[in-house]
Amino acid sequence: MINMSDSVTSLSDITKLSSDIRSEVNKSIVGLSRHIDTLTLSLLTGGHVLLEGMPGTAKTFLAVSFTNALSLGSNRIQSTPDMMPGDVTGTRIYNPKTLEFDFHAGPIFANMVIVDEVNRAPPRTQAAFLEAMQEGQVTVDGETSILDQPFMVIATKNPLEYEGTFPLSPTQLDRFMFRINLDYPSIEDEVEILRNKTKSLSSSDNVISKEQIISSRKFLIDNMSIDDNVSDYISTLVQSTRSKEGVIIGASPTAAVSLLNASRGHAAIIRGSDNVTIEDVKAVAFDVLNHRLLIKQSDISDSRADDEPRISAESIITEIIEAGGK
């Protein structure tokens, strides 16, 4: 484990940090190593993550276990249909002693913010996250407060639309660098989960500090080599999503930047290389792009023939990646 007071100055430091995070989170999580790596990629490249999956697939447990491995301030928000924006950002409350309005910060003011069932929050409250996630600041009653860095949102979402849920807007979805889908565990992993439930879990250790995260982000921006062919490939990939039949909204320029940053992280953290390749882009492209496409409803309706392939964002992205961005 790297000394928490040390700054990150080399690729070996970054790979060591990511290995430490993986080892720590795996003490309580079974079978989700790839998802832990994706969360680490997002953390070290300045992104946010949406965890989606059926109820009981350890979305919140993964988010909490990951957060507990970090020496950072954290808050957890349980979304509900009656939430107001002030419940996220905070509000100004009149102080009769000073005859002024004092600002009382909301739970968004933390380095790590876990948002449970984000689609239970109404659209007005979902919008309260937009400025914080994009610009790292919060504006309440015309007064802007800068959020402490690093800042990362990990939100969970159930794919089933229950009563009292609201769809996430394309703008909201575009704020997330990754959308990770958590499936049911394999029989081997499920057996291991049950075995772990017969043991007492040891408390988590903080294996990475605020200073290390900030210096890791700076290192990845300043020291990764990106050839023109990689930038061209990312642009072609993103542009291809906008011209596919059945797509109303394709991937945005923000998606292209997210794909570039995620590719940087993959090269450094997974491969231990300072040279970003097209293979790095392909490795992260699906998780970066799969939530950013809006498909025509008529193309995915139940009226289609049973033997006719169903159009979905996932199938389009997979097709584009396999075709080399064409």
Where along the chain do its domains lie?
Answer: 11-209, 224-322
Note the pLDDT of residue 199. Answer: 60
Comparing C-alpha atoms, which of 48, 300, 64, 258 is closest to residue 151? Answer: 48
Which residue reads 């800068």 in tokens? 146
**Homologous superfamily in CATH for domain 11-209:** P-loop containing nucleotide triphosphate hydrolases (3.40.50.300)
Which residue reads 């860095």 in tokens? 149
Note the pLDDT of residue 99. Answer: 79
Contact of 265 with 45, CB cutoff 8 Å: yes
Note the pLDDT of residue 197. Answer: 67
Give the pTM.
Answer: 0.89
Note the pLDDT of residue 105. Answer: 92
- What is the C-alpha R_g of the chain? 21
Return d(Cα 319, Cα 299) in angstroms, integer. Answer: 17
Note the pLDDT of residue 90. Answer: 93
**Cβ neighbours, 10 Å, residue 253:** 10
| The pairing of beta strand 74-78 with beta strand 112-116 | parallel
Fold of 224-322: Helicase, Ruva Protein; domain 3 (1.10.8)
Note the pLDDT of residue 60. Answer: 93
**Low-confidence residues of the chain, pLDDT below 70?**
1-6, 160-163, 197-204, 297-311, 325-326
Helix (H) or strand (E) holding 112, with range, is strand 112-116
Note the pLDDT of residue 55. Answer: 85
